[in-house]
Structure 1
Amino acid sequence: MDSSSTRRRNTRRRLFEAAVTLIAEQGFSATTVDEIAERAGVAKGTVYYNFESKTVLFEELLRHGIEMLADSLRRAADEMTEGGGSRIEALDAMMRAGLDFASRYPSLAQLYLAELWRTNRAWQSTLTQVRQKAIAVIESVLREAVARGELGEETDVPLTASALFGMVLVAALDWRSFQPERSIDEVHAALSRLLQGRVSGAVM
């Protein structure tokens, strides 16, 4: 990769980080391009050079962030199953990966949850698409668990995947905001007990 490509990638990363923090703090409408540029340490024109509008920047931000999350979930599941773990253990590893992600990018997790229910946004279709990418990773592991007899055939895979995805993000934000004294190991252990008792049930 040449130096100009590296510079542009770094600039876009700074813009993403500035935008997600500002929008999580004060909302999309209240955040200006001037503020994003100032927080990122670049000229206002640089924002428009990389993204044609604030809306496009935000849309790309959502896509980039949730695709990073989906990749981390997939890696966690693959590492567990390739190491001989069960699909239930892979789901548990994915929960840990989700907590790790939300801990590293709390503003992004907060922003995602806030925007998910605002159906009148210009980027709603993009948000729906990238959400499905993350959900599909969980669904694939659930389907394998059903096929292997680790979960019962009555398992509602789409709803269970959505519930697990939402549970991890909400629990992560609650932990960071209201119970920061807890370690990630404590939070993960609590979610693991829910997974074992509610999802796997007697099959375990």
Structure 2
Amino acid sequence: MTREDTRLKVFGAAVELIAEQGYSATTVDAIAERAGVAKGTVFYNFGSKEGLFSELLEHSIGRLAGALSSAAVGETALEALDGVVLGQLRFFEEYGPFARVLLAEMWHTAWQEAVARLRERVLGVYAGVLRRAAENGEIRADLDVETAATAVFGMVLTVSIEHRVLHPDRPLTDVHATLVDLMHGRLR
């Protein structure tokens, strides 16, 4: 197993445990046990629990930003926005525990650097598409795109968690269609 494989196993174990019981209650011992590695392996790779969580956030935010950027396609900016929403839904369908970690843990003062990266890299995808839509006359020109980007991201995050926990049998395409209808009605 490569070092990168080990790090990914530890990331997976950490995000699951933190989603289940919170950052404070999650121990390095529990993460190592869940990942099937020695406790020393966690410390060797990350230095500390805080280092692990910081790198976990960086890794996950990067993957999320990449998924949203790849999904931002369409002939119009609104189509690209719809694609970004679907990309976020699909990402959190696959990485549900990370959605719960974002909702519960990201807003603590200790993780402000990670929040700044989330704003820049993830919310930046939404803001860019919304800005383009405003410039093209597809949505209101006076829209505060930064606030709208945060609102749309938060709405999709919350709906993703609810879908995964309460309505896993509901087709993701139906969830997406409802979100798109809501957004289009308010953006125009």
- TM-score (ref. length: structure 1): 0.88
**Which among 20, 26, 29 is matched to residue 24 of structure 2?**
29
Q: Residue 137 of structure 1 aligns to which amino acid in structure 2?
A: V
1:170 aligns with 2:165: no
Partner of 1:193: 181
Aligned pair partner of 1:124 in 112, 128, 131 = 112
Select the structure of larger CA radius of gyration.
Answer: 1
**What residue in structure 2 maps to residue 56 of structure 1?**
51
- What amino acid is aligned across from residue 168 of structure 2 in structure 1? P
Q: Distance in 2 between matches of 1:159 and 1:130?
A: 14
Query: Please, which of 60, 65, 77 is the counterpart of residue 65 of structure 1?
Result: 60
Alignment equivalent of 2:13, drawn from 18, 23, 27: 18
Letter in 2 for 1:103: E
Residue 125 of structure 1 deviates from its aligned partner by 2.1
Q: Which position in structure 1 is the counterpart of 2:92?
A: 102
Offset, 1:145: 1.1
2:134 is aligned, of 121, 142, 146, to 146
1:142 maps to amino acid: L
Structure 1 consecutive aligned stretches of length 4 or more whose deviation exceeds 6 Å: none
Which residue type is aligned with residue 140 of structure 1?
G
Report the number of matched residues. Answer: 188
Root-mean-square deviation (Å): 1.3
Instruction: Give the CA deviation at 1:116.
Output: 3.0
Distance 2:119 2:45 in 1: 24
Q: TM-score, structure 2 length as denominator?
A: 0.95
Deviations 1:48-86 (A, max 9, x none): 110000011001111111111111111111xx23xxx10
